[in-house]
Amino acid sequence: MLSKRKSKYFKSLQLKKFRQSERLFLVEGEKGVLEVMASDFNIHTLLCTDVFFERYAKSIEKVPLHECILVKQVDLSAVGSYQTNDSALAIVHMPKEDITPFSSGLVLALEDISDPGNLGTILRVADWYGVSQVYCSHNTTDLYAPKVIQASMGSFTRVRVNYIDLGSWLKQTELPVYGAVLDGESVYGENLPKNAVLLMGSESHGISEQLLPYVQHKISIPRVGGAESLNVSVATAVLIDHFASARA
Amino acid sequence: MLSKRKSKYFKSLQLKKFRQSERLFLVEGEKGVLEVMASDFNIHTLLCTDVFFERYAKSIEKVPLHECILVKQVDLSAVGSYQTNDSALAIVHMPKEDITPFSSGLVLALEDISDPGNLGTILRVADWYGVSQVYCSHNTTDLYAPKVIQASMGSFTRVRVNYIDLGSWLKQTELPVYGAVLDGESVYGENLPKNAVLLMGSESHGISEQLLPYVQHKISIPRVGGAESLNVSVATAVLIDHFASARA
């Protein structure tokens, strides 16, 4: 049974200020909960229906958690952001922020991405291409917001995301910095290196004047038709794909 | 002044059955309305605020329309799907469905894309890359739904979309058919032709068993990391980009 007090407490984690003070966030739905159970994230509390519990009893047993509470669908909808959730919801500890030293490959840097769906989709893209490090400006939307977690389709468990002062970091990095702009060199002609930073700007303004000076290689996806721009998650995927195919 | 009767009538166009019987659809917001005014779509009625009217009086004058009604913001929100709209809303005639004979280039075929945001984003991608013909299966979500129009960012005015029996069409086309699958040949090694069909399957099931036999070239975007799949609009962009860069 889920007490009203607990239900209210867990629901409060839909808001950033409570997520930040409690260092906890919500993962909703069967697929997401199974992904987080299989990851090295630590689960605080698991809320699930009888059906979910019976189906995954063996996996649940293996996961160290503070508490597992059997609930009804209405409780899951009351706590979470999904209109319907007939399986499970996990309350998960945020990992400690520690900026892992750069190893090799492509590092993705995101400046002020504001749409949660875009950030989640970008993490899914990064995960697909094996980009394991993403650095976000402090004004980028919160990784742990329910919509980001949902759109990332479990990729948040595999991609390391850090919120940093992008300017300071770009200033000191020894990696070549590539930035997506509308009037840069065609990415089709670029000889892309194995190790690099790819910087993507915000949906509405692109890379800011403050960060442009750190971009050594301004690149663009050539436009043939009439659209003014590409969605930022789409553009990120196309550009990462060029880095990936150059290495393949 | 917008009468209650008219407001209700226009609002009904949020629903597919009324759009189809009236052959009219809604375009909301300043940017979208300006795009449709500049296109060869025919506008039935323009609802706009005083501010919009004064700012674009000259352009509005040039557009042949049945009626222009000055309204308040609350009227725009009442008719349309946007929570706030402080500029304009156009009620637009659907163009006649006529399947333009294929000229050259890449034709995009979409099977049962169900998410309006995905369809809109795909049209924006097609528009960016100059793909002017998109064929959708009948079960693909409706082009004229407000969310599709919004996500397409005006690209619906430049990309020709037809809903057809994809199976019959793929059976008779003389173009080589490329289809996106998870276990196909790497697109990195493909020698992609100038003229082709690119078939994308639905979000949840990919290309169906019914259509797979028409796919001569099963292609995939190589995966390095752990994500199970890419969002369909992202995958569409990456694959179209390969066709585009092969031609560049």
Q: Domain spans of chain A?
A: 4-93, 106-247
The distance in angstroms from the start CA to the end CA of chain B is 53
User: Is B234 within 8 Å of A237 when comparing Cβ atoms?
Assistant: yes
Q: What is the pLDDT of residue A146?
A: 95
Chain A with chain B: Cβ pairs closer than 8 A: 109
Note whether A131 contacts B225, CB cutoff 8 Å: yes
A230·B132 Cβ contact <8 A = no
- Best of B150, B224, B233, B236 to disrupt the A interface (most A CBs within 10 Å) is B224
Computed over every residue of chain B, the mean pLDDT equals 94
From the list B34, B144, B138, B17, the residue with the least C-alpha distance to B81 is B144
Q: What CATH number does domain A106-247 carry, 3.10.20.80, 3.90.1640.30, 3.40.1280.10, 3.90.420.10? A: 3.40.1280.10
Query: Which residues have a Cβ under 8 Å from the Cβ of B68 and sit 6 or more positions away?
Result: B45, B46, B47, B48, B53, B60
Question: pLDDT for B117-150, tens place per residue?
Answer: 999 999 999 999 999 999 999 999 999 999 999 9
Would you give per-residue pLDDT tens digits along chain A (248 residues)?
899 999 999 999 999 999 999 999 999 999 999 999 999 999 999 999 999 999 999 999 999 888 999 999 999 999 999 988 999 999 999 998 766 666 789 999 999 999 999 999 999 999 999 999 999 999 999 999 999 999 999 999 999 999 999 999 999 999 999 999 999 999 998 999 999 999 999 999 999 999 999 999 999 999 999 999 999 999 999 999 999 999 87
Of A127, A186, A233, Cβ closest to residue B226: A127
Comparing CB atoms, the residue among A186, A222, A237 nearest residue B237 is A237
pTM for this entry: 0.93
> At the fourth CATH level, which superfamily is domain B4-93?
Ribosomal protein L30/S12 (3.30.1330.30)
Which residue from B minimizes the CA distance to A126?
A: B225
ipTM of the complex: 0.92
Distant-in-sequence contacts of B170-175, Cβ < 8 A, 24+ apart = B170/B109, B170/B197, B170/B199, B170/B211, B170/B214, B171/B214, B173/B102, B173/B197, B175/B102, B175/B107
C-alpha span between B245 and B239 (Å, rounded): 10
Q: Which DSSP category does A84 fall into?
A: -
Put simply, the answer to whether B128 touches A221 (Cβ < 8 Å) is yes
Contacts of A129 in chain B (CB under 8 A): 223-225
CB contact under 8 A, A225 and B154: no
Per-residue pLDDT tens digits for B86-109: 999 999 999 987 666 667 899 999
Backbone Cα Rg of chain B: 20
Minimum distance, in Å, between the CA of residue A3 and any CA atom of chain B: 35
Interface contact A154-B127, CB threshold 8 A:
no
Is B238 in contact with A237 (Cβ distance < 8 A)?
yes
Is the CB of residue B89 less than 8 Å from the CB of residue B69? no
Q: Kindly tell me if the per-residue pLDDT of B22 is higher than 80.
A: yes
Q: Show residues of chain A in contact with B194, CB under 8 Å.
A: none
